Amino acid sequence: MSDSAMFKMPTIDLSAKSLLTLSQLGIFAVFAYWAVEGGVEDNIDYLFLVMMAGAGLALFLSVPNARMGVTLGIPAAMVVMGVVMGENEMMFWAVFMLFMIGPIAYMPAMATGDPTLGLDDETRLQRLGILWIVFSLLMMFMMSGLADMATEGELTEQDNDGNEFTMVLDSAQQTIAQGGLAVGVIGVLVFLLTAVMGKEVGPMRPWHGGVMAAVALLISQYLWTVVEGAPSEGPAEFFMILCFIGLVALTPCVAYEGSSDSSESE
């Protein structure tokens, strides 16, 4: 297909590259579903549905400039809606979504070496490494609540309806949370040393760090399922965490393993 094509249908198989792309699409699909999960109350719900579904499809089909449009467009739309609706809290969530959506939009393309990025391999991998670290830490310390569960033994959050709930861990569950957090932090450090800084850490490779960070997210999801006070979660929540795990685990595998394998064969 020519470079001027408006979209490109990706190959769908069981390769790591394909699963990484599907993980990205799945995240936006769940965002779109959440917009109308509890019923449509006003046109804002439809707007979020169209915005998230369109963003996911644009990235999946490699529409030109989709990554930049999604990364900046979604937060910008949230800022506009916050101003129109007089909700200052929306401004905070717009900044949060910028740091969250950016890595989701760019990491698969940077991992696969998409030529439309216009980056040489060294620059691409350096920037990818920084994005992966930011995203993984965001997931562990803000999205999953694993850090609070490990240090405080409890986690207070709000559900989709704005109702506050508190999850209280027993001593065994807190120990599991502490172990999960330790594994995740070690995974990020392994990735930082091997992928970003180019150091040798015994037999460790960047993808080992990705797997360890993914294990931390799995542990956090397990705790969300069994801890006292945790809200019931449906298939969409489980599918979302599976997609996040795919993004965290497969990005280092796709980005760094091909080059490392080739260099070893030489």
User: How many Cβ atoms are within 10 Å of 22's Cβ, its own excluded?
Assistant: 18
Spatial contact of 75 and 95, defined as CB atoms under 8 Å apart: yes
The residue ranking higher by pLDDT, 258 or 81, is: 81
* Angle of CA points 206, 209, 212, to nearest 5°: 155
* Helix-helix angle 66-85:43-60, to 10 degrees: 170
| pLDDT digit string, tens, across residues 101-132 | 999 999 999 999 998 898 899 999 999 999 99
The pLDDT mean for the chain works out to: 87
Is 50 exceeded by the pLDDT of residue 1?
Answer: no
Q: Report the distance separating Cα 12 and Cα 5, nearest Å.
A: 19
Non-local (6+) Cβ contacts of 35 within 8 A are: 45, 46, 48, 49, 52
Instruction: For the chain, give the percent of residues with pLDDT over 90.
Output: 56
Is 80 exceeded by the pLDDT of residue 41?
Answer: no
Instruction: For the chain, give the percent of residues with pLDDT over 70.
Output: 91
Please report the pLDDT score of residue 169 as a whole number: 93
How sure is the predictor about 265, in pLDDT bands with cuts at 50, 70 and 90? very low
Residue type at 245 in one-letter notation: I
Q: Report the distance separating Cα 5 and Cα 30, nearest Å.
A: 28
DSSP H or E segment with residue 69: helix 66-85
Closest CA to 215 of 255, 188, 253, 233: 188
Spatial contact of 58 and 74, defined as CB atoms under 8 Å apart: no
Mean pLDDT for 248-262 is 77
Spatial contact of 208 and 190, defined as CB atoms under 8 Å apart: yes
Is 60 exceeded by the pLDDT of residue 264?
Answer: no
Please report the pLDDT score of residue 162 as a whole number: 67
Is 60 exceeded by the pLDDT of residue 100?
Answer: yes
Question: Is the pTM higher than 0.75?
Answer: yes
3-state secondary structure of 167: strand
Mean pLDDT for 198-209 is 92
Residue type at 122 in one-letter notation: E
Mean pLDDT for 186-194 is 96
Residues in a beta bridge with 228: 168
Cβ density class 68-82: b for 16+ within 10 Å, e for less: ebbbebbbeebbeeb
The residue ranking higher by pLDDT, 84 or 262, is: 84
Question: DSSP secondary structure string, 171-216?
Answer: HHHHHHHHHHHHHHHHHHHHHIIIIIS---BTTB-HHHHHHHHHHH
Give residue for tokens 């916050």. Answer: 82
Q: Report the distance separating Cα 183 and Cα 206, nearest Å.
A: 14
| pLDDT digit string, tens, across residues 43-90 | 677 888 889 999 999 999 988 889 999 999 999 988 888 888 777 777
141 phi, psi to nearest 5 deg: -100, -15
Please report the pLDDT score of residue 131 as a whole number: 94
Is 50 exceeded by the pLDDT of residue 178?
Answer: yes
Is 80 exceeded by the pLDDT of residue 24?
Answer: yes
Please report the pLDDT score of residue 262 as a whole number: 34
